[in-house]
Amino acid sequence: MINSEVRKKMVIIKDLVKSYGEHRVLNGFNMELYEGETLVIMGKSGSGKSVMIKCLIGLESHDSGTITIMNKNLDKMDADTLNEIRTEVGFLFQGSALYDSMSVRENLEFPLRRHIGKFGELDDATPLVMEALESVGLPQTIELMPEELSGGMKRRIALARTLILKPKIILYDEPTTGLDPITSKEIVLLMKSIQDKYKTSSIVITHDVDCARFIADRMILLIDGINYITGTFAELSKSDDPKVSAFFKT
């Protein structure tokens, strides 16, 4: 592991606060994502993991604190810069919905059309679509409709749709939830291979201890609205703190 002091920081979150009415979900959350690392965030259901990631991508506004993505402050970004940053940050939503009325090809072309600035006007997007499908092992599905795909395949296609813009950062919100253990393992292996191939920096929100063990370079537990503890899987899983050890009991 390279010394973290000299590693480039892709994302810095400082003292993030976010409430909905009286309900303070994030209460001074801090986080740094280093270049090339996979950072796993765990926390109980309702602890604010998805909210945190939505603030990070600017889908939700935050009350206070700062978010810096690749040296740019999210609050000070104009619409064009925010759009540009969004092409560098891929987001695999919780549930990872595909557009049901669009074919796999059309689903993958969608981000290309939306962020035309990144690759310019494309006469034929097929090579990019095929490359993304090949990296998730499903090139044969290009003309299929989502209803013709299994849950695991849909998740892979959603991942391909995230990859097509060749993002520097990928945010995964519960990438294995709802999948059987074998399919979950395949998705986690795929995430790892993508990480190795594209050298992306990733944030992975998961409840899946096996996924965390396999993929995490570092982990943060989000408890009581803060970054309660940070460390490697081995460090955190040995913790005596009952709030921490509860996550690792099987």
Residues that bind Mg ion (CB under 5 A): 50, 94
156 is an interface residue for ligand ATP by CB under 6 A: no
Q: How many CA atoms lie within 13 A of 75 on its CB side?
A: 11
Binder of ligand ATP out of 2, 46, 134, 148 (CB under 6 A): 46
22 is an interface residue for ligand ATP by CB under 6 A: no
Question: Which 3 state secondary structure label does DSSP give 32?
Answer: strand
Residue 205 Cβ vs ligand ATP, minimum distance, rounded to whole Å: 7
48 is an interface residue for ligand ATP by CB under 6 A: yes
- Comparison of 135 and 176: residue with beta carbon closer to ligand ATP: 176
> Closest CB to Mg ion belongs to which residue?
50
Distance, in Å, from the CA atom of 8 to the CA atom of 13, rounded to the nearest integer, reads 14
Residue 130 Cβ vs Mg ion, minimum distance, rounded to whole Å: 32
Which among Mg ion, ligand ATP, none contacts residue 58 (Cβ within 5 to 8 A by kind)?
A: none
Phi, psi of 47 (to 5 degrees): -80, -15
How many chain residues bind ligand ATP (CB under 6 A)? Answer: 11
Phi, psi of 206 (to 5 degrees): -155, 150
Residue 73 Cβ vs ligand ATP, minimum distance, rounded to whole Å: 23
- Comparison of 132 and 216: residue with beta carbon closer to ligand ATP: 216
Residue 230 Cβ vs Mg ion, minimum distance, rounded to whole Å: 20
- Footprint (CB under 6 A) of ligand ATP, residues 68-127: 94
165 Cβ neighbours under 8 A, 6+ residues apart: 87, 88, 90, 111, 112, 115, 118
Q: Which residues of 129-156 are buried (b: 16+ CB within 10 A; e: fewer)?
A: beebbebbebeebbeeebeebeebbbbb
Q: How many CA atoms lie within 13 A of 80 on its CB side?
A: 1
Do the Cβ atoms of 212 and 233 come closer than 8 Å?
yes
Specify the stretch interacting with ligand ATP by CB under 6 A; choose among 29-37, 41-49, 113-121, 156-164: 41-49
Which among ligand ATP, Mg ion, none contacts residue 117 (Cβ within 5 to 8 A by kind)?
A: none
| φ/ψ bin of 75: left (φ > 0), alpha (ψ from -120 to 50), beta (otherwise) | alpha
Distance, in Å, from the CA atom of 241 to the CA atom of 250, rounded to the nearest integer, reads 16
Residue 193 Cβ vs ligand ATP, minimum distance, rounded to whole Å: 25
25 is an interface residue for ligand ATP by CB under 6 A: yes
Specify the stretch interacting with ligand ATP by CB under 6 A; choose among 46-54, 95-103, 152-160, 192-200: 46-54
- Comparison of 61 and 101: residue with beta carbon closer to ligand ATP: 61
Distance, in Å, from the CA atom of 113 to the CA atom of 175, rounded to the nearest integer, reads 25
Interacting residues with ligand ATP (CB under 6 A): 20, 25, 43, 45-51, 94
